[in-house]
């Protein structure tokens, strides 16, 4: 075991992917000489060369579209989108090309792209630097969407995403890049938890709290705080947003009878909406209360000095837990 | 100023401003720079190029008829662009790879795409008609200009592998306004990618004249991106062949990308769903009729002593047989199985889609007669309202 930050764990995973398959190429803005604005690709250009770790012109559509061409040629491109809010110029290439070419070619052309996206807020950044665009991609057939939350998972998941034959949107919780954790760099991928499987990160019996990315740590903290108050929260790190590992979530909800979903992204049409609907369909008779969503507001990401009023934090999550449990909460007495 | 006023000088179509080796009247024009690239093209070889053009024109006519008769949902005719497509595609090697838009039936012909393969998509029977790796030709692209980036990325990969193969991006004049094409030109230049950008300027993007896309000849844009631009008479198959050979040779030798503007004309509608009478005049059609790609080749061959009556007759017979084969082929394309709607969305098992698939199978199983299910709705009928741009 080594202790690494989440950013360094991703770096180690990328290094191992580059070393293991010469068709893996990294592409993005400032990822080579600079090592990426978050240093996730630090040192990789020096180690593997400018044809494996490619500094590209400043064009997200250009990066993604040329990555599609490289995939046609048999490469496994790993694309870095510098910040979440910069992905939209590449949206057409992702939705119309990356997601659909396997289908459109009747399985003849594979698109094993990994599209890395530092996502989410909480770092006091300028506008367009703190967004959570995952629902757009979860809505798009042909893509897989995952989010890592800690160094050990980041190290394994990035390698699994690259090795897989389907395109993956790989969301990295940027405010957790510097969180440290133990990483087993000798572990075999074959023995690791599959990319599509959720992780039970805290056991509990009163309510199931499902989240992903940066909020996993917040949810753990909420569970500890609630325990002092006599409430037992089970925390699930979803890890894969498309497809969702419903068996894991269902098994938990069948035990607890209550579901809270938390994410930084807005509520409307979000991952939480899909989870609430699907869990209601799948285990309605086990639910003691309606599923509760604790999310960012349906607003453009606010200025840095307001972001604490946008992002779900420990107290807002606990307020949501109280709603699910029918305990006094901010909406007590308010008709839904 | 309207777009057509912008071309009041005729700058965008002036025939003296492009590479031309055969005049519309069939006279061989000598060009010291480009002649050596087609020195091997004797009367026999020129006759073969004529044959290709005549056959794809006939196939195109047949496909339009098949659409009118309800056998195809839609068809985008290539009529008028035979020289641009045959001249460029006959310059290719088998190990080159082309990324086209939806109108390159002539390119498909040269790449060995069969009749059923060509029509599958337009009949609505499947998402694509051929395996791109068997034909060296990607899935045709409907999103305007998106394939320029794919060709560039593919070429970057070729260069990194040390291959001397090349890729070609086919797109139209309308696509030159798209970000993807401009970004492809930036990437190709920056990485010296062995790619040829082959722009068929057919004067119209549905109803919009090329003057709306550009105030100057499109080939001039190449200079701004740092690559050579060639403006060629796109109705002159010999000149197109020469220009494409120049560009491919540069790519193979590590010289990077080339932009070719082939000045041509779309004789037919944008697609069978379009009515060009709403936006262009009969005079224009007559004018371009005098620059036809096929007649000039016959005139040149006749002047070289070839019995063109015999050639025309032989080729017409062959084209007729190809058209009959196309007509037969369309009926042999199998109707898709309802459950195939779920195939190939993912390369690997996907739990979410597996569940949806299972639920739909259960739904279908409720019906005794499969023809009563929504899944059997005629694909051609459902596609008729749609259309590519």
- pLDDT tens readout for residues B324-382: 999 999 999 999 999 999 999 999 999 999 999 999 999 999 997 655 555 544 444 44
C-beta atoms of B154 and A89 within 8 A: no
- In this predicted structure, what is the pLDDT of residue B377? 46
Residue B7 has pLDDT above 70, yes or no: no
Asked whether the beta carbons of B239 and B20 are under 8 A apart, the reply is yes
Q: Does A66 touch chain B (CB under 8 A)?
A: yes
Percent with pLDDT over 70 in chain A: 99
* DSSP state at residue B22: B
Of B97, B131, B157, the CB nearest to A70: B157
pLDDT at residue A277 above 70?
yes
pTM of the model: 0.94
Q: Which residues of A232-256 are buried (b: 16+ CB within 10 A; e: fewer)?
A: ebbbbbbbbbbbbbbebbbebbeeb
Contact state of A57 with B186 under an 8 Å Cβ cutoff: yes
Give the pLDDT score at B13: 58
In eight-state DSSP terms, residue B314 is H
pLDDT tens-digit readout, B274-322: 999 999 999 999 999 999 999 999 999 999 999 999 999 999 999 999 9
Residue B94's CB: how many other CB atoms inside 10 A? 10
**pLDDT of B246 above 90:** yes
Tell me the ipTM for this assembly.
0.96
Which among B97, B132, B352 has CB closest to A105?
B132
**Residues of B with Cβ-Cβ distance to A57 under 8 angstroms:** 183, 186-187, 190
Per-residue confidence band for B14, with pLDDT thresholds at 50, 70 and 90: low
Write out residues 188-247 of A within 8 Å (CB-CB) of B: 196, 242-246
User: Among partner residues A56, A101, A245, which is closest to B139 by beta-carbon distance?
Assistant: A101
The pLDDT, as a whole number, for residue A211 is 98
User: Six-digit token pair at A93?
Assistant: 């290439």
- Tell me the β-bridge partners of A24: A76
Chain B CA closest to residue A54: B191
Q: Which of A:6-65 have CB within 8 Å of B? A: 25, 51, 56-57, 59, 61-62, 64-65
pLDDT at B173: 97
> How far, in Å, CA of B105 to CA of A102, rounded?
22
Beta bridge partners of A270: none
B162-176 average pLDDT score: 98
Preceding amide of B170 cis, omega within 30: no
Of residues B60 and B387, more confidence is placed in: B60
pLDDT score, position A65? 98
Q: What's the per-residue H, E or C state across chain A? A: CEEEEHHHHHHHHHHHHHHHCCCEEEEECCCCCCCCCCCCCCCHHHHHCCCCEEECCCCHHHHHHHHHHHHHCCCEEEEECCCHHHCHHHHHHHHHHHCCHHHHCCCCCCCCCEEEEEECCCCCCCCCCCCCCHHHHHCCCCCEEEECCCHHHHHHHHHHHHHCCCCEEEEEEHHHCCCEEEECCCCCHHHCCCCCCCEEEECCCCEEEEECCCHHHHHHHHHHHHHHCCCCEEEEECCEEECCCHHHHHHHHHHHCCEEEEEEEECCCCHHHHHHHHHHHHHHHHCCCCCEEEEECCCCCCCHHHHHHCCCCHHHHHHHHHHHHCCCCCCCCCCC
For helices A151-163 and A6-20, what crossing angle results, to 10°?
Answer: 30
Predicted local confidence at residue B368, as pLDDT: 74
* A105-122 pLDDT tens trace: 999 999 999 999 999 999
CA dihedral B315, B294, B93, B240 (to 10 degrees): 170
- What is the per-residue pLDDT for A164? 97
pLDDT at B15 over 60: no
Q: For residue B27, what is the DSSP state? A: P
For B89-139, how does the pLDDT look when each residue is reduced to its tens digit (9 = 90+)? 999 999 999 999 999 999 999 999 999 999 999 999 999 999 999 999 999
pLDDT at position B17: 82
- Which chain A residues are closer than 8 Å to B157 by Cβ? 69-70, 73-75
A-B C-beta contacts closer than 8 Å: 143
> Cβ contacts (< 8 Å) between A114 and chain B: which residues?
none
Q: What is the pLDDT of residue B305?
A: 96
| Mean pLDDT computed over every residue of chain B | 92
Asked if B281 is an interface residue toward chain A (Cβ–Cβ < 8 A), one would say: no
Contact A96 B160 (CB under 8 A): no
**Chain-chain contact of B153 with A73 (C-beta, under 8 angstroms):** yes
A110 CB near a chain B CB, below 8 Å? yes
The answer to whether B294 contacts chain A (CB < 8 Å) is: no
Nearest to A165 among B143, B148, B347 (CB): B347
- pLDDT the model gives residue A115: 98
What residue of A is the nearest CA neighbor of B181? A62
Binary contact (A67, B151; C-beta < 8 A) = no
- Using alpha carbons only, what angle is made at residue A249 by residues A246 and A252, rounded to the nearest 5 degrees? 145
pLDDT at B371: 56
- The mean pLDDT value of chain A amounts to 97
Interface of B with A in 151-170 (CB under 8 A): 151-158, 160-161, 167
Interchain CB distance below 8 Å, B180 and A93: yes
Which residues of A are identified as catalytic? 129
Residues of chain A numbered 156-175 and touching chain B (CB < 8 Å)? 164-166
* Closest-CA distance of chain A to residue B114, Å: 16
> Which residue in B has a C-alpha nearest to residue A163's C-alpha?
B348
All residues at 6 or more sequence positions from A46 whose CB lies less than 8 Å from its CB, including other chains: none
Q: Inform me whether the pLDDT recorded for A153 exceeds 50.
A: yes
The pLDDT tens digits of the residues spanning A165-180 come to 999 999 999 999 999 9
Q: Which residues of chain A does B167 touch, with a Cβ-Cβ cutoff of 8 Å?
A: 69
Q: What radius of gyration do chain A's Cα atoms show?
A: 20
């Amino acid at each position: 075991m080594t202790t690494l930050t989440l950013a360094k764990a991703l770096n180690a995973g990328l290094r191992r992917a580059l070393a293991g398959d010469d068709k893996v190429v990294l592409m993005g803005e400032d990822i080579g000489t600079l090592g990426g604005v978050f240093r996730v690709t630090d040192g990789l250009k020096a180690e593997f060369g400018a044809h494996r770790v490619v500094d590209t012109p400043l064009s997200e559509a250009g990066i993604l579209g040329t990555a599609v061409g490289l995939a046609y040629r048999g490469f496994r491109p790993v694309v870095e989108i510098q910040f979440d809010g910069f992905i939209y110029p590449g949206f057409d290439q992702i939705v119309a090309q990356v997601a659909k070419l396997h289908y459109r070619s009747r399985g003849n052309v594979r698109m094993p792209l990994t599209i890395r996206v530092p996502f989410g807020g909480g770092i006091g950044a300028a506008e367009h630097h703190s967004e959570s665009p995952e629902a757009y991609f979860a809505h798009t057939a042909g893509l897989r969407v995952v989010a890592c939350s800690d160094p050990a998972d980041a190290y394994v998941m990035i390698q699994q995403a690259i090795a897989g034959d389907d395109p993956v949107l790989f969301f990295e919780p940027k405010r957790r890049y510097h969180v440290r954790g133990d990483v087993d760099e000798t572990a075999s991928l074959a023995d690791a938890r599959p990319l599509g499987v959720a992780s039970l990160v805290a056991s509990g019996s009163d309510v199931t709290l499902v989240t992903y990315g940066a909020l996993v740590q917040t949810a753990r903290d909420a569970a500890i705080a609630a325990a002092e108050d006599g409430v037992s929260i089970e925390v699930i790190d979803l890890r894969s947003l498309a497809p969702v590992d419903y068996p894991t979530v269902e098994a938990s909800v069948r035990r607890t009878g209550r579901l809270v979903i938390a994410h930084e992204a807005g509520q409307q049409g979000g991952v939480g909406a899909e989870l609430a609907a699907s869990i209601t369909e799948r285990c309605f008779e086990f639910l003691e209360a309606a599923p509760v969503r604790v999310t960012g507001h349906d607003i453009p990401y606010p200025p840095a000095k307001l972001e604490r009023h946008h992002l779900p934090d420990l107290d807002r999550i606990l307020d949501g837990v109280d709603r699910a449990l029918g305990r006094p909460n901010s909406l007590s007495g308010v008709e839904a | 100023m309207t777009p057509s006023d912008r071309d009041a000088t005729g700058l965008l179509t002036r025939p003296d401003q492009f590479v031309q080796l055969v005049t519309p009247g069939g006279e061989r024009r000598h060009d010291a720079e480009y002649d050596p690239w087609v020195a091997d093209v004797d009367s026999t070889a020129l006759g073969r190029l004529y044959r290709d053009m005549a056959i794809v024109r006939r196939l195109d006519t047949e496909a339009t008829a098949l659409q009118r008769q309800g056998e195809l949902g839609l068809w985008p005719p290539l009529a008028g662009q035979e020289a641009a497509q045959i001249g460029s595609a006959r310059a290719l090697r088998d190990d080159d790879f082309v990324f086209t838009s939806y109108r390159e039936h002539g390119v498909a012909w040269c790449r060995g795409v069969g009749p059923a393969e060509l029509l599958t998509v337009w009949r609505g029977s499947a998402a694509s008609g051929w395996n791109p790796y068997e034909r060296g030709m990607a899935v045709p692209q409907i999103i305007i200009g998106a394939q320029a980036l794919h060709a560039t990325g593919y070429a970057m990969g070729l260069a990194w592998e040390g291959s001397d193969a090349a890729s070609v991006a086919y797109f139209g004049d309308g696509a030159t306004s798209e970000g993807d094409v401009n970004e492809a030109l930036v990437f190709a230049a920056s990485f010296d990618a062995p790619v040829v950008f082959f722009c068929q300027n057919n004067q119209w993007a549905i109803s919009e004249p090329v003057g709306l896309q550009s105030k100057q000849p499109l080939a001039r844009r190449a200079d701004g991106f740092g690559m050579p631009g060639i403006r060629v008479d796109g109705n002159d198959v010999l000149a197109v062949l020469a220009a494409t050979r120049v560009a491919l040779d540069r790519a193979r030798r590590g010289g990077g990308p080339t932009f070719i503007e082939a000045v041509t004309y779309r004789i037919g509608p944008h697609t069978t769903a379009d009515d060009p009478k709403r936006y262009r005049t009969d005079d224009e059609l007559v004018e371009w009729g005098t620059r036809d790609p096929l007649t000039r080749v016959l005139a040149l061959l006749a002047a070289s002593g070839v019995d063109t009556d015999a050639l025309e007759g032989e080729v017409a017979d062959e084209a007729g047989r190809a058209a009959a084969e196309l007509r037969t082929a369309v009926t042999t394309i199998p109707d898709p199985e309802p459950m195939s709607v779920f195939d190939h969305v993912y390369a690997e098992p996907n739990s979410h889609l597996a569940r949806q698939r299972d639920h739909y199978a259960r739904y279908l199983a409720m019906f005794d007669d499969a023809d009563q299910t929504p899944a059997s709705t005629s694909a051609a009928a459902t596609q008729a309202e749609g259309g590519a741009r």
